[in-house]
Each structure stands twice: as structure tokens, then as C-alpha cells.
Amino acid sequence: AWKTTKEFNLGLDFKAFSHRLYGSIDVYSRKTTGALAPTPIPFELGPLTYFSNLMDVSNKGIEINIGGDLIRAEDFIWSMNLNWSTNKNKLDRLNGANINQYSLDYYVEGQPIGTIKGYQVEKIFQNQTEIDDLNASAPNGFYSSPSLSVGDYKFRDTNGDGEITVEDRTVIGSIQPDFFGGFSNTFTYKNLSLSAFFQYSVGAESIWDAIPTGVYNSLGQNKLAEYGLNTWTPENTDARYAKAVYTDPAGNGRISDRYLYDTSYLRLKNIQLSYTLGEAIAKKLMLSRATVFVAATNIATWTKWPGIDPEIFSERGGVTDQVQNEDPYPLAKSFSFGVQLQF
């Protein structure tokens, strides 16, 4: 069967002041019923996997684009274009979809696809007495692990049963940004033109995969300075990360908000400087138009993300792969020089 999508879209385009100001505003609400999803199927029927129309997903958002000439003089023009978008995605119902056990946390009814679930860290234990009291009150005699000791995380007991189990995991973040977009500026003076394009994203989060993986402290591996210099020791009690112990017996590497980081960024995506030859010179060269330019991409990124890049999440490329940023490689910078000729 086919999935069904119902959509409401309201748009407005406008121009004013002799086209010096222009733009558009779009508001939409999209409801998809019966999106394809893995479906439970008896093994007796033969196939290992089967897909059917189960999931219901909705998207609501606003897109705004505004542009214009801020300055328009005889020899000088300053043009700007700005776009801003927000999209609220929500998984309305799974309807029994057979989600892979390793992806269940990313598909939570009533939450965006790409929800991040994990443990909340209240603090790092600083004295053994508190641990002994918690163990004494726990149903099985251990608050979170038999190896729990000073320097380990105190995970929040969200369900109040006196012990830390998988049931204490809760929503700690989302890959869905609050808003995103870009803006460009173009400055033109006679035949010389300079343009720059910036893009941005605000409010999304991701697990920096290198840190919880490194918490197991396997021998012979280098440690990132972010982790190695910020672990708990008796001399560094106000650390971000729990103490470093071989094989992590206390389970400090469990996904928690200590490994969650904001992926907001502002990036200078492209900048170009160009010069167009005058008509007289172009005619002498038997050309109708000739432009020389130099350009560069991915020049600079401003972000609090501690890894390599907040935008490149995984080499696999799926939506939910953004939950854990593997920092597979840095975003490459490029520089180019060119000539555009029109005959």
C-alpha cells in the first residue's frame, strides 16, 4: 500500500520599494500516515524482514526568506538575503512497527525522530559514605554497580525505585534544531564584486561518540585531551567526566548527558571575489563578457562543539546517525580560481 500525506501550506510572496525589498513566507503542516517501517512477521513465513505502512509522522514548520538592496547607489550596491526555517518533526504513532533494538531509543512516540535517550548525571561521588547509604537502600544491594566508588557518576534514579536500571533512561536531547538557515551579502563596486554566504543551525544536540567510547580506557589507545584532562581525580574533583578506570567497571560509559553537546554553529560557507572586464576591453578580446574570480568554501566555523565538526555526523548518512557524532573526517576547505568567458 501507499503512504498517505495530508498537507496544509500557506505562502506569501512580496516585493516592495521598486524591488529593493522582496521575500516569501511559508507556513506548513504535513501529516504522513502509513510510512513504511519494519513489521513483525512470523518466522514460519520465510522472509527475515518485511515492511508495511505503519508509522504516522507529522511535520510543522515556517520558512522565511527576505532579501533586498540595503544600499543602491550609482557605483555601489549592497545586497543581502536571509532565510530562516524551523521544523517540528514528531513521531505520532509506531503502530507496532518492529524497530531494531539498537534504534528503539530514536523512535519515541510523541517525540521527534532522532530523540536522544540516556541517563541524567546528578554529580560525581565525592565520598564513600553516600555510596554506602544508597547501596543499603537499593533492592538488590547495589545502587548502580557493585564497582561503584568515589569518582564515579551518580546517575539520577528517575523512577524512584532505589536503583539504576535501563528504566531510568529518559529523553536528554534531540537532533532537531530549534531553527536553521543562512544569509548572504554581496558588495558590488563598479566591476568588482565580493559575496559571502553563511549558514547556521541552532539548538540541536548530539552525543560525541569518541568520549563514551574512550571511557572504557582500553590499553594502548591515545586519549582525546578533552577526556584525558577532564576526568575525576582526587586533585581534580570538579571534573566533567568520571574517573578513568580500565574496562569501566562502574558503567560510567553509559550514554548520559555528560556526553551530550550542542551542535549549534555558524559557518562561513562560501566567499567569492570577482572582477568583470569592461565592455571596451571585452570587445577587443572578441568577448561579450569576461569575469575573473577567486573563491573559497568552508572557511571558518564558530561553534562550541568540541569535536572535529558539528555538521558531519557519520559515514552511514542516515537521519538517526546524527544522534551520535562519530567525527569521521573534517569538512574539507577548498580554494578555486577561474575565468568565465561569454562569446
Instruction: Give bridge partners of residue 268 from the DSSP assignment.
Output: 198, 300
Task: Please answer whether residues 339 and 292 qualify as being in contact, where contact means their C-beta atoms are separated by less than 8 angstroms.
Answer: yes
What's the CA gap between 174 and 100, in Å, rounded?
Answer: 19
Among 148, 146, 167, smallest CA distance to 156 is for 167
Residue 50 confidence (pLDDT) above 60: no
Lowest mean pLDDT among 52-56, 84-88, 165-169, 262-266: 52-56
Q: pLDDT category, 51, cuts 50, 70, 90?
A: low
Task: Please answer whether residues 142 and 148 qualify as being in contact, where contact means their C-beta atoms are separated by less than 8 angstroms.
Answer: yes
Residue 336 confidence (pLDDT) above 70: yes
Residue 238 confidence (pLDDT) above 70: yes
Q: pLDDT category, 19, cuts 50, 70, 90?
A: confident
Residue 342 grid coordinates? 561569454
Among 333, 329, 332, smallest CA distance to 312 is for 329
Residue 315 confidence (pLDDT) above 70: no
Residue 236 grid coordinates? 581534580
Q: Taking the CA atoms of the chain, what radius of gyration do you get in angstroms?
A: 27
The mean pLDDT of the chain is 89
Average pLDDT over residues 25-38: 86
Task: Please answer whether residues 147 and 135 qualify as being in contact, where contact means their C-beta atoms are separated by less than 8 angstroms.
Answer: no
- The three-class DSSP label of residue 241 is strand
Burial 86-122 (b: 16+ CB within 10 A, else e): bbebbbeebbebbeeeeeebbbbeebbbbbbbbbbbe
At residue 298, the pLDDT reads 95
- The three-class DSSP label of residue 149 is coil
Task: Please answer whether residues 278 and 236 qualify as being in contact, where contact means their C-beta atoms are separated by less than 8 angstroms.
Answer: no
What's the CA gap between 289 and 280, in Å, rounded?
Answer: 10
What's the CA gap between 90 and 110, in Å, rounded?
Answer: 6
Residue 238 grid coordinates? 570538579
Among 163, 122, 131, smallest CA distance to 150 is for 131
Instruction: Give bridge partners of residue 12 from the DSSP assignment.
Output: 25
Among 272, 291, 266, 290, smallest CA distance to 335 is for 272
Among 69, 36, 63, 66, smallest CA distance to 50 is for 36
Among 152, 174, 173, 150, smallest CA distance to 164 is for 152
At residue 40, the pLDDT reads 64
What's the CA gap between 257 and 267, in Å, rounded?
Answer: 26
What's the CA gap between 61 and 27, in Å, rounded?
Answer: 6
Strand ranges (E), the chain: 4-16, 21-38, 51-72, 76-93, 115-118, 121-124, 153-155, 170-174, 179-189, 192-202, 205-208, 260-262, 265-276, 289-303, 324-325, 334-342
Single-letter amino acid, residue 96: G
